[in-house]
Chain A
Amino acid sequence: MNIHEFQAKRMLEKYGIPVPEFAIVSSMKGLEELLETRGWQSAVLKVQIHAGGRGKAGGVIFAKNRQEILEAGRELLGKKIINEQTGPEGLIAHQLMVSPPIQIMREFYLGMTIDRERSERVLLVSPVGGMDIEQIAHQQPDKVLFLPLPQEGFFRSYHLIRLAKFMEWKGKVAEQGVNIVNALVKAFIDTDASLLEINPLVETTDDEQLSALDVKMVIDDNALFRHPELKSLFDPSQVNLQEARAQEHDLAYVALNGDIGCMVNGAGLAMATMDLIHHFGGHPANFLDVGGGATKEKIAEGFKIILSDPEVKAVLVNIFGGIMNCRTLASGIVDAAKSFKVHVPVVIRLEGTDVEQGKELLKDSGLNLISVDDLTEAAKQVVSMAQKSGA
């Protein structure tokens, strides 16, 4: 689960990591009141969306006076930001972060993540912050230090000495930097984060203090059961409509750009089905894994989510019954089709447990469903139908 920058900053503050002063507004009225109470004469306004690259996408404005601040607020509130990270649909900024400008002397990168290949937690640091870490690693590999976190969950003094030297931190700054690293590690473990990144960590000119200017945090969805306080940070406005609905019903759904809706059980088979559609010249509208043990209700919901996408011109259902038998699948589809007008052709390929009963149910329903036994044949058919109804 992604959380917003301001939520992550508040989290880090609790762990004693200094964060530059900021406020959050979600309306022009709020912005005016804020300027009134704080008396800021200039400010940086930043959209709060679940994506990076906000500056380049026009989501960050430096405003030099009261009028410019208000103009920036009007421009950014409700603005749709589109870049590689947001996907083609973009994300809407419902909240802005407003902060007084600070003078920056140096920028650093600090990030905790999980190295899945080596199955250990790892700290990445760089004395050149402000850029994407992958870019730094690519352009200046000697400016990135990887420090695997010992199993006990904290760094030892010699690790920290090495780190401070690498970052060129001296005196008071070194002391402060080491405290920040220790706090970052603790926050990462405590919150079951899968990514916790401060980029940039800045050293300010006037008081030589380190503070976290931008923070990115991703929490492991599977661990949310033990963090009810984090679960409430979820912002449904930052995910695609169909994806949000699917998530509510515990279905794995990813929106894509094509016109063939897909419903499959199992992630591997779902990807393979997408590949097969592509192979025959079609374009999947989505990835939808209803899971191995789907119920009739989940199937019906999945089917409705697919049909609610206006781009969908034809649907392919590919189910290999294992735990979920084909009868369950068939009755879910029939139920959905009764309560919801099916306006596009639907090709169904069933195999596995109770396949005969499943096919029987579909046939008896009187619905206009095309049942195909062979996987290749099913993919070919759905591609040609999407092309026909698209033309």
Chain B
Amino acid sequence: MSILVNRHTRVITQGITGKAGRFHTEQGMLYAPTYVGGVTPGKGGGEILGLPIFDTVLEAKEATQCNASLIFVPAPFAADAILEAEEAGVELIVCITEGIPVHDMLKVRQVLRASRTSRLVGPNCPGVITPEECKMGIMPGYIHRKGEVGIVSRSGTLTYEAVWQTTLLELGQSTCVGIGGDPLNGTSFIDVLTLFEKDDETKAILLIGEIGGNAEEEAADWIRHHCTKPVAAFIAGQTAPAGRRMGHAGAIISGGHGTAASKIAALKAAGVKVANTPAEMGLAVQQVLQQKKL
């Protein structure tokens, strides 16, 4: 199994003729043959990387039966690109774009929440990958290895670090999902945890959080009540000062909320093994897997 994407996923890229869109579509195609087309308004009828280009997502969907869209559209137009994919009924929308205005994301969240057809991952995220089956995002493919750890994270490169550690330990990954560093995003930790819980291939879960907001606390509460699989975690920003935004729009401790200490305490209370340092994420998940097998 795996979650969200697999070898049968039919992916289009919105913004396929831009530099990033083209590059990562090509990388995704080299990884696995799951790409079926792309969208760039005004360039419909053309071809790129051997794929057909369409003016709208609706046209692309009618012609290719795509069920997933990867978005590289620049921030001023990205909210519209997400809304377009939703309206066309694309099931999985992964938005890589960083820096979407927060007032735009309010509208997107409202629509996606009520959507009967679509799920949004991101924005401002590395994407989703099921090793050896489908790479929908900007992560380097070669660091992954098919295996049994489901990884969910708010970060980009810190996720690569975790992936690499689990690959070196020969645990491998079932699916890796980057939910993004923005405070207003589509898919939450709990959404992904729910999917991992139901997925046979996922034997253990690694959750990578960071300071700001209360998504990790909510995830901990969900794990305590609903999760039967072993979970390991790491929280970045344990030493970040209050009131300063650490790169991600969501990564800020304000008014005493969103501290690493409160997140770690909540996770530990839910039985999660929390790695002390970022160099021990892989070891932490290895440990919970071994304990489970004993």
Contact = CB atoms under 8 A, between A and B. Distances in A.
Interface of A: 84-85, 114, 116-117, 119-121, 134, 151, 189, 192, 194, 220-223, 225-226, 252, 254, 256, 264-279, 284, 287, 289, 292-293, 320-323, 351-353, 374-376, 379
Interface string B71-101: 0000110000000000000000000000111
A121 B248 CA distance: 21
B270 interface: no
Contacts of A120: 106
The 8 closest A-B pairs by CB, nearest first: A268-B155, A267-B247, A266-B157, A268-B158, A272-B278, A223-B101, A271-B236, A116-B183
B290 interface: no
A276 B246 contact: no
B102, B139, B240 pick with most chain A CB within 10 angstroms? B102
B140 A266 contact: no
Measured as residues with beta carbon below 8 angstroms from the partner, the interface class of chain B is 35 or more
Say what secondary structure dominates the interface of chain A. mixed
B156 interface: yes
A256 B156 contact: no
A252 B157 CA distance: 15
Contact of B157 (A134, A320, A376): A320
A267 B248 contact: yes
Given A256-B241, A278-B238, A268 B156 contact: yes
B115 to A, nearest CB: 14
Contact of A352 (B160, B210, B255, B278): B160
Given A279-B277, A292-B156, A375-B278, A192 B101 contact: yes
A134 B247 contact: no
Given A221-B99, A272-B236, A322-B140, 20 more contacts: A114-B102, A117-B213, A194-B102, A226-B76, A252-B247, A266-B155, A267-B251, A269-B156, A272-B158, A272-B161, A274-B239, A275-B237, A276-B278, A284-B239, A287-B244, A289-B247, A292-B156, A321-B140, A322-B139, A322-B160
B157, B240, B243, B248 pick with most chain A CB within 10 angstroms? B157
A269 B99 CA distance: 19
Contact of B106 (A121, A265, A272): A121
A254, A268, A279 pick with most chain B CB within 10 angstroms? A268
B13 to A, nearest CB: 15
